[in-house]
Amino acid sequence: MTDNLFFADNTVLVNFGHIDRLDVLERVLNGRGRWCATVASECFRSSRVEGLAALRRAPAIFGDPWFPETPVERLDVLVFRDRLAGPGDPPHAHLGEAETIALMARRNVSGFVVTDDRGAARIATHSGIKVIGTYDLLRLAGRVDIISPEDLLRAVVTLRQKGRGGPVEVNDLPSLHRWMAKR
């Protein structure tokens, strides 16, 4: 089995869609990006939202989606979905993250969940899966020159303006460089 696969959830894909930089995501994942079938469905639906057409490129990055193949894997998804859910959540919320964590855990996948959902991050960690988020990938992309500092700053500001979180200390190029040097 290939080591170090990176399973994205839709929160991260949407972020790269908002900044229209799926090219950066593709290059930084370096052929190690994967996704589950429910995330692929969510991404397809998101690609129809105005401003997120860039997401149509995602299948070329993540390839054929991974499906739950056995009843045990399908039931695992229900268990993880319950763990991720909260009162008032829509009935299908969290299925993408649940499917991702369930398949990675059940198949002993060596790799990372790529998510900005704090709850999903904690539950993946509890299941022994490493977790990174949008800004880990963006910072690394900046450090290996996949994205210029100017474009990275623009991306951070855009995401913040869209309420997608991000490093609050980054406001200009000097603060961006300090943030990039942190880790």
Residues that bind other proteins (CB under 8 A): 3-4, 6, 28-30, 32, 36-38, 40-42, 65, 67-69, 71, 74-75, 77-79, 81-88, 91-92, 95-96, 98-99, 111-112, 118-119, 121-126, 130-132, 136, 139-140, 143-144, 183
- Bridge partners of 132, per DSSP, are 114
For residue 179, report the phi and psi dihedrals to the nearest 5 degrees.
-65, -40
Residue given tokens 């994967």 in the structure block: 34
Q: How far is the CB of 35 from other proteins (least distance, A)?
A: 11
Residue placing its CB nearer to other proteins in the complex, 116 or 159: 116
User: Which pair of tokens denotes residue 67?
Assistant: 């499906």
Residue placing its CB nearer to other proteins in the complex, 57 or 83: 83
Q: How far is the CB of 87 from other proteins (least distance, A)?
A: 4
Query: What DSSP designation does 36 have?
Result: B
Instruction: State the Cα–Cα distance between residues 102 and 81, nearest whole angstrom.
Output: 9
Q: How far from the centroid of its chain's Cα atoms is residue 47's Cα?
A: 15
Residue placing its CB nearer to other proteins in the complex, 84 or 156: 84
